[in-house]
């Protein structure tokens, strides 16, 4: 029954492959034609194409491995650590090109680890089984997004409003406090996507967790409860992620200063 429902929603066949290729081409072409890149180049179009190809390869590998991973505790935790490592690298390099990128691990770990641990201890998410990977992945993904958006907005604001930061120092503020005055309002915008998704759920879209539960045979009430948990947990995780990111930037741990010449590649 579940297989029939899944195939009815999105059958895995040649038609799906063609549609995916066309959609990816449409996204890359649009980005190229309208030069949707920070430097007015076609770089973002290449990123879209590469991201689509990578997603295909990665999901193919995960689809083959996940059935085995969930039955071996050591492999399960290794997979979760891999997810965390990739998220840290992705978020950090989106925020800064220098060696401070690894600090992005902190705003991802600080909110996600306690939430997952609490859910496990409460018995809501079993250590063994399929639930651990998607729940942890959703939370890590939410923290990644909030960290990237908050970090980039904060550092962009600090760069364009350097005069205000220096004025704060001249008035006797500590460096942390002077930076906070500049970056905190801008970084808070990173919370808007999660807020809007939560406010409009059920009215604009039916998110993936809800649809997935229905296809898995759950009742609409059960599916709604799971989706509600995901949305509220994501808001908590993202709020903490943005707060930690702001503090790291305020203390100068995460920044965009040029690395020493000896540390540069090429």
Q: Where are the domains of the chain?
A: 1-69, 73-258
What is d(CA 125, CA 139) in angstroms, rounded to the nearest whole number?
Answer: 13
222 alpha carbon, distance to own chain's centre = 25
pLDDT classification of 161: cutoffs 50, 70, 90? very high
What is d(CA 138, CA 83) in angstroms, rounded to the nearest whole number?
Answer: 11
What is d(CA 217, CA 43) in angstroms, rounded to the nearest whole number?
Answer: 43
User: Residue 181 carries which DSSP code?
Assistant: H
CA-wise closest residue to 234 among 201, 207, 194: 194
- Give the global pTM: 0.83
Q: What is the pLDDT of residues 34-48, one digit of tens each?
A: 988 888 788 899 999
CA-wise closest residue to 91 among 130, 168, 134, 147: 147
CA-wise closest residue to 10 among 215, 205, 207: 215
Predicted pLDDT at 4? 46
The DSSP bridge partners found for residue 125 are none
Predicted pLDDT at 82? 94
Least confident of 68-72, 95-99, 167-171, 240-244: 68-72
Predicted pLDDT at 164? 92
Question: What count of Cα atoms within 13 Å lies in the side-chain half-sphere of residue 39?
Answer: 5
Please give the average per-residue pLDDT across 162-180, as a whole number.
Answer: 92
Structural tokens at position 263? 């540390």
Structural tokens at position 97? 């090109």
pLDDT at 58 over 70: yes
Q: What is the pLDDT of residues 90-123, one digit of tens each?
A: 999 999 999 999 999 999 999 999 999 998 898 8
pLDDT at 209 over 80: no
User: Residue 129 carries which DSSP code?
Assistant: S
Work out the widest C-alpha separation in the chain, in whole angstroms.
Answer: 69
Predicted pLDDT at 9? 59
**Cβ-Cβ contacts under 8 Å for 128 (sequence gap 6 or more):** 70, 71, 73, 76
Question: Counting beta carbons within 10 angstroms of the beta carbon of residue 251, is it exposed (0 to 12), middle (13 to 18) or buried (19 or more)?
Answer: middle
SS (H, E, C) 12-79: CCHHHHHHHHHHHHHHHHHHHHCCCCCCCCCHHHHHHHHHHHHHHHHHHHHHHHHHHHCCCHHHHHHH
Residue showing tokens 């996507």: 193
**Of 44 and 213, more confident:** 44
User: Residue 171 carries which DSSP code?
Assistant: T
């Amino acid at each position: 029954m579940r297989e029939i429902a899944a195939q009815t929603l999105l059958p895995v066949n040649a038609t799906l492959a063609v549609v995916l290729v066309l959609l990816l081409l449409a996204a890359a072409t649009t980005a190229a034609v309208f030069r949707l890149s920070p430097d007015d180049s076609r770089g973002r179009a290449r990123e879209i194409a590469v991201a689509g190809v990578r997603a295909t390869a990665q999901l193919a590998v995960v689809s083959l491995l996940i059935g085995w991973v969930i039955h071996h505790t050591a492999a399960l935790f290794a997979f979760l650590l891999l997810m965390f490592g990739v998220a840290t690298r992705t978020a950090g390099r989106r925020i800064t090109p220098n060696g401070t990128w690894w600090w992005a691990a902190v705003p991802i770990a600080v909110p996600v680890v306690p939430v997952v641990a609490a859910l496990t201890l409460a018995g809501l998410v079993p250590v063994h089984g399929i639930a651990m990977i998607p729940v942890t992945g959703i939370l890590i993904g939410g923290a990644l997004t909030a960290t990237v958006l908050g970090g980039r907005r904060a550092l962009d604001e600090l760069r364009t409003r350097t005069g205000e930061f220096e004025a704060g120092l001249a008035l006797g503020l500590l460096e942390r406090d002077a930076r906070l005055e500049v970056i905190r309002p801008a970084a808070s915008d990173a919370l808007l996507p999660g807020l809007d998704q939560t406010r409009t759920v059920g009215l604009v879209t039916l998110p993936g967790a809800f649809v997935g539960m229905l296809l898995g045979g759950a009742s609409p009430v059960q599916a709604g409860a799971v989706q509600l948990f995901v949305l509220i947990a994501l808001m908590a995780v993202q709020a903490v992620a943005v707060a930690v990111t702001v503090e790291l930037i305020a203390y100068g741990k995460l920044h965009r200063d040029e690395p020493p010449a000896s540390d540069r590649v090429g």
